[in-house]
Amino acid sequence: MSSSWYHAITKETLLPLIKSLVASELSRSRNSDQLKLQVVNWQKDTSLDKHGLALDSIELMAVAGSVNQLFHLHHHGIEDYLLRYRTLGEWCEIVAKGWEEGQTHLTFQTSGSTGTPKAVTHQITTLVQEIEALACLFPCCERILACVPNHHIYGFLFTVLLPWHIQCPVLQVQHWQGSAFAEQLRSGDLIVSFPHHWEFLQRSLHQLPAEIHGVTSTSPCPPNLIFSLQQQGLQRMTEVYGSTETAGVGYRHAPVDPYILFNYWQFAENGSVANGKTIHENKTQLQRILPDGTLQAPIALMDTLEWKDSRHFIPHKRKDQMVQVAGVNVSPQQVADRLQAHPWVSECAVRLMRPEEGNRLKAFLVLDSTIMITEETEEQLNLWCKETFSTAERPTRLTLAYALPTNDLGKLKDW
């Protein structure tokens, strides 16, 4: 495998990547998504201090730490320069210097999880290995429209490495837009997005130009959404299954088909497939065949998979009980624990809404007997939720009562 992939990272490709990372970190620390909408206006001379993004000392340390973590600047002893220089362009130059001195690994944070993100390190050669496989899926791609955060592994693969590999330009369209987005489309475009954004586009766009392809990942994409997009002119939607921990595992071009395992994966020694039955948890491990032919240590997958044969599978429910809200992995139990810490709440249950109800979390709150159930009570609890939870975590429908809903057997039922 050629080392020419070093040319994928330049000062120009770094700017949108670092902008994406800075916006994500600040949005988390300030508990606001507004910065993500402003990224499009940031330039190389955008300052991080009071004359620009107004990072305080704690935010500066956190954001600099994230940039250092992703690019391993500490291996070259230049991570301190992030604290000395205060424009996005200067940060690009610092990262480019570290890259030019030689880099073999990148560390990404889990992209869609509530709570503390987990850091996962990948060899760059394995990411290039995946890109070589992905490039074969999009032979007619003339331009990539990036609607995903560049600094997460999915965005990095499709908006940094893939365009370098197939030598095509990238148009950053991370901010939400409808008619303006449609005006930018042209034949040969590959739209890289995620299900929640695809749903927005499906409702915003009436008809797509010919020969537009799409790719989606981060969470399951409803089949009806894909069919609707195809009726509006989308040539083909490619779903990529994977995670931050594994990178890409498999792909499919139709929601009625099973996923196809990428050719650099194989079952770990304790894995087996029999009669298309779901593999038990201790047998859902895969091993990656590295570019040099050696085997990576077995990796456990996050979902229960149903294998049709040794190369085809269908993902089912997550093993960790997470649910997905707009592409973000959310723990209903963690949300319930935080709700129950409110002094008015003695017990609660949290679930994902049924499809006919919506695509957010809902909560059933059992109030202390001293608290009256009134519209004002509900309004105050809703306000507290807005101040306490991130957008994906926040239950948007509260049901107040003095006892949990149960069936005839005393088990919790839906509400």
Q: State pLDDT tens for residues 278-332.
A: 444 445 688 999 998 999 888 888 788 889 998 999 998 766 677 878 777 888 9
Same domain, yes or no: 175 and 272: yes
Domain-embedded: residue 226: yes
Mapped onto helix, strand or coil, the DSSP state of residue 229 is helix
Closest CA to 393 of 319, 354, 347, 336: 336
What per-residue confidence (pLDDT) applies to 143?
A: 96
248 and 383 inside one domain: no
71 CB burial (10 A radius; 0-12, 13-18, 19+):
buried
pLDDT at 411 over 80: no
Quote the CA–CA distance of 213 and 215 in Å, as a whole number. Answer: 7
**361 shares a domain with 239:** no
Q: Which of 263, 297, 322 is the last residue of a domain?
A: 322
Q: Assess if residue 412 is contained within a domain.
A: no
Residue ending a domain, choose from 79, 103, 127: 103
Secondary structure (3-state) at 51: coil
- Any idea which residue has 């409808």 for tokens? 178
- pLDDT value for 30: 80
CA distances from 68 to 10, 71, 246 (A): 16, 5, 22
Same domain, residue pair 231 and 99:
no
Q: In this predicted structure, what is the pLDDT of residue 73? A: 95
pLDDT of residue 175: 62
* Residue 311 sits in the same domain as residue 369: no
**Does residue 215 belong to any structural domain of this protein?**
yes
Do 279 and 131 fall into the same domain?
yes
Query: Residue 384: in which H helix or E strand, if any?
Result: helix 375-388
Q: Is 354 a residue whose pLDDT tops 90?
A: no
pLDDT at 23 over 80: yes
Query: Does 343 fall in a domain?
Result: yes
Instruction: Flag whether 415 is in a domain.
Output: no
Assess if residue 406 is contained within a domain. Answer: no
Q: Which of 305, 322, 339 delimits the end of a domain?
A: 322
Least Cα distance to 212 among 185, 173, 251, 178 occurs for 185
299 in a structural domain:
yes
- Helices (DSSP H) in 209-363: which residue ranges? 223-231, 332-340
Q: Residue 272 has what pLDDT?
A: 47
Average pLDDT of the residues of the chain: 87
Specify whether 87 is located in the same domain as 63: yes
Domain assignment present for residue 413? The answer is: no
Query: Do 33 and 98 fall within a single domain?
Result: yes
Indicate if 217 and 76 belong to the same structural domain: no
89-108 per-position pLDDT tens digit: 999 999 999 988 888 899 99
Note whether 73 and 127 are same-domain residues.
no
Mean pLDDT, rounded, for 341-356: 89
pTM of the complete model: 0.78
Domain of residue 58: give its range.
1-103
- Same domain assignment for residues 247 and 387: no
Provide the domain count of the chain.
3
